[in-house]
Amino acid sequence: MGLIYRKTIRAGKNTRVNMSKSGVSVTKKLGPVTINSRGHISIRLAPGLSFRIF
């Protein structure tokens, strides 16, 4: 298994900046929908359960 490093910084109530080895991305949460700057969309279905769209 490989080691994964990620640092997350809150940049507002619903915005986060994620830094990892592969680069920087921004995540914005709009209710149950989360969209990031790399084009990933995730929908929260229930606590602990989400559906990810690429």
Q: What is the DSSP string of 23-48?
A: EEEEEEEETTEEEETTS-EEEEEETT
Residue 27 contacts residue 19 (beta carbons within 8 Å): no
pLDDT confidence bin for 5, thresholds 50/70/90: confident
Question: What integer pLDDT is reported at residue 10 of this predicted model?
Answer: 96
pLDDT confidence bin for 2, thresholds 50/70/90: confident
Question: What integer pLDDT is reported at residue 16 of this predicted model?
Answer: 96
d(CA 50, CA 27): 15
Residue 4 contacts residue 15 (beta carbons within 8 Å): no
Question: What integer pLDDT is reported at residue 8 of this predicted model?
Answer: 95
Residues of the chain with pLDDT > 70: what percent? 98
Question: What integer pLDDT is reported at residue 27 of this predicted model?
Answer: 96
